[in-house]
Chains A and B, each alone.
Chain A
Amino acid sequence: EDQVTQSPEALRLQEGESSSLNCSYTVSGLRGLFWYRQDPGKGPEFLFTLYSAGEEKEKERLKATLTKKESFLHITAPKPEDSATYLCAVQSHLIQGAQKLVFGQGTRLTINP
């Protein structure tokens, strides 16, 4: 059974204080690892897809990396607008072309000015 565990559950940082969020996963065959951002009262919004160990992707202050067992979301010099819940999900197979993602419980990130 595919499983995703995110840590920490919550993280509070000062503006400019860099840190990393962790996503540990077990999956039968990884076809994609996803990061989403979710603001309060809204649906998740796509950030990155990673496919294989060693892959990295960047967007503004965010960089996602992938190993065979975990992914990290690095946040460099964060700003208050980076405050959100960050969700990790894995895709192990397609069913008739549809994705069946397994999500972690999320990390709630708060950046204090």
Chain B
Amino acid sequence: NAGVTQTPKFQVLKTGQSMTLQCAQDMNHNSMYWYRQDPGMGLRLIYYSASEGTTDKGEVPNGYNVSRLNKREFSLRLESAAPSQTSVYFCASTTGGAGEKLFFGSGTQLSVL
């Protein structure tokens, strides 16, 4: 089982460039999430999709957009990258519901110069 697959694993951008982080899960999960992880800050929710066809803002959505392409895929787009978006990005998925565990991808390390 692949679980949650994220691409790319590493990316370096210049300020103002755009890019899309891809995420796909093969577990038939309803809900998908994008988090960023910064030293000393813990994981912070950027956007989430409760089910196919819906997306909503999390704690730190500014500068990002998302697309739930289908039940399997949830992408995160940076339209004009800024140095403050240098971080490690994690995609996660779950069946949904209270107490259900999240399954995380292996992360994308993004540097914005």
The answer to whether A106 and B97 touch across the interface, beta carbons within 8 angstroms, is no
Q: Which of A13-21, A62-70, A87-95 contacts B (4 or more CB under 8 A)?
A: A87-95
Residues of chain A contacted by B62 (CB below 8 angstroms): none
| Docked-complex contact B50 and A31, CB < 8 angstroms | no
Q: How many chain B residues touch A (Cβ–Cβ < 8 Å)?
A: 32
Shortest beta-carbon distance, A39 to chain B, in Å? 10
Does B45 contact A100, Cβ atoms closer than 8 Å?
yes
Which among B31, B41, B107 is the interface contact of A99 at CB below 8 angstroms? B31
Bound Cα distance A45, B106 (Å): 10
Whether the pair A98, B31 counts as a contact (CB closer than 8 A) is yes
Using a Cβ–Cβ cut-off of 8 Å, how many residues does chain A contribute to the interface with B? 29
B99 touches A46 (CB 8 A): no
Q: Which residues of A contact B97 (CB under 8 A)?
A: 94, 97
Measured CB to CB, the closest approach of chain A to B86, in angstroms, equals 17
Q: Is the CB of A95 within 8 A of B92?
A: no
Is A80 an interface residue, CB under 8 A from the partner?
no
A42 touches B107 (CB 8 A): yes
A94 touches B90 (CB 8 A): no
Cα A44 to Cα B106 with chains together (Å): 8
Are B31 and A105 in touch, CB under 8 angstroms?
no
**What B residues does A43 contact at CB under 8 A?**
4, 90, 92, 104-107
User: Are B99 and A103 in contact, with the CB atoms below 8 A?
Assistant: no
Known: A32-B99, A44-B104, A51-B99. A98 touches B49 (CB 8 A): yes
Of B54, B94, B100, the contact of A96 (CB 8 Å cutoff): B54
B92: nearest chain-A partner, CB-CB: A43
* Residues of B close to A89: CB separation below 8 A: 43
Are A96 and B45 touching (Cβ within 8 A)?
A: no
Q: Can you give 18 contacting A-B residue pairs, CB < 8 Å?
A: A32-B99, A43-B4, A44-B104, A46-B101, A49-B99, A87-B43, A94-B98, A95-B56, A96-B50, A96-B54, A96-B56, A97-B96, A98-B33, A98-B48, A98-B56, A98-B96, A100-B48, A101-B45
Q: Which residues of A contact B (CB under 8 A)?
A: 4, 9, 31-32, 34, 36, 41-46, 49, 51, 87, 89, 91, 94-101, 103-106
